[in-house]
Structure 1
Amino acid sequence: MTEQETAEQELTDKVVASFDSAKDERFREVMRALVRYAHAFVRETRLTHDEWTAAIEFLTAAGHLTTDTRQEFVLLSDVLGISMLTVAVNEPGLHESTESTVLGPFFVRDSPAIELGGNIAGGATGEPAWVEGRVTDTGGDPAPGARVEVWEADDDGMYDVQYDDGQLAGRAHLFTDAEGRYRFWGLTPTPYPIPDDGPVGRLLDHAGRSPMRAPHLHFMVTAPGFRRLVTHIFVADDPWLDADSVFGVKESLVRPFDRHEAGTPTPDGRRPEGPWTSTTFDIVLAKE
Structure 2
Amino acid sequence: MSNGIIERLEDVTPTVVRAMSAADNPRLRAVMEAFVRHIHAFACEVKLTEAEYDLGIDFLNRIGQATNDSHNEGILFADAIGFSTLVCLLNNGNGGATETAAALLGPFWRANSPRTENGASIVRSPTPGPELFVACEIVDTAGKPLADVEVDVWQSSPVGLYENQDETQADMNLRGKFTTDANGQFSFRSVKPAGYPVPTDGPVGDMLRAQHRHPYRPAHIHFLGFKPGHKTLVTQIFVDDDEHLHTDVVFGVTRALVGDYRRHDHGEPLAAGVRAPWYTLNHRLVMENGEAILPKPPIK
User: Normalized against structure 1, the TM-score is what?
Assistant: 0.93
Structure 1 CA distance, aligned partners of 2:141 and 2:67? Answer: 39
Structure 1 CA distance, aligned partners of 2:269 and 2:98? Answer: 32
Amino acid at match of 1:82: F
Match of residue 127, structure 1, among 118, 123, 130: 130
* Matched position secondary structure for 1:186: strand
Amino acid at match of 1:33: A
CA deviation profile, 1:125-151 (whole Å, cap 9, x unmatched): 232210002111111211111111110
> Which residue of the partner structure matches residue 139 of structure 2?
136
Structure 2 CA distance, aligned partners of 1:260 and 1:244? Answer: 26
Counterparts of residues 160-239 of structure 1 (less than 5 Å): 160-164=163-167, 167-239=171-243
Structure 2 CA distance, aligned partners of 1:137 and 1:25? Answer: 33
Cα separation, partners in 2 of 1:29 and 1:108, compared to 1, 3 Å: same
* Matched position secondary structure for 2:246: helix
Contact 2:151 / 2:225 at 8 angstroms: preserved in 1? yes
Per-residue deviation, 1:21: 1.0
Amino acid at match of 1:158: L
Per-residue deviation, 1:164: 5.0
Structure 2 CA distance, aligned partners of 1:212 and 1:132? Answer: 27
Amino acid at match of 1:141: K
* Matched position secondary structure for 1:104: coil
Per-residue deviation, 1:224: 2.1
Q: CA RMSD in A?
A: 1.7
CA deviation profile, 1:24-75 (whole Å, cap 9, x unmatched): 1111111111110111111111111111111111111111110121000000
* Matched position secondary structure for 1:110: coil
Greater Cα shift, 121-130 or 228-237: 121-130
Structure 2 CA distance, aligned partners of 1:32 and 1:122? Answer: 49
**Any unmatched runs of 5+ in structure 1?**
1-5
Amino acid at match of 1:107: W
> Which residue of the partner structure matches residue 257 of structure 1?
261
> Which residue of the partner structure matches residue 115 of structure 1?
117
**Any unmatched runs of 5+ in structure 2?**
1-6, 291-300
Aligned length: 281
Contact 2:93 / 2:99 at 8 angstroms: preserved in 1? no
> Which residue of the partner structure matches residue 150 of structure 2?
147
> Which residue of the partner structure matches residue 3 of structure 1?
none
Contact 1:193 / 1:213 at 8 angstroms: preserved in 2? yes
Matched residues, percent identical?
A: 35
Per-residue deviation, 1:90: 1.1
Cα separation, partners in 2 of 1:133 and 1:81, compared to 1, 3 Å: same
User: Normalized against structure 2, the TM-score is what?
Assistant: 0.89
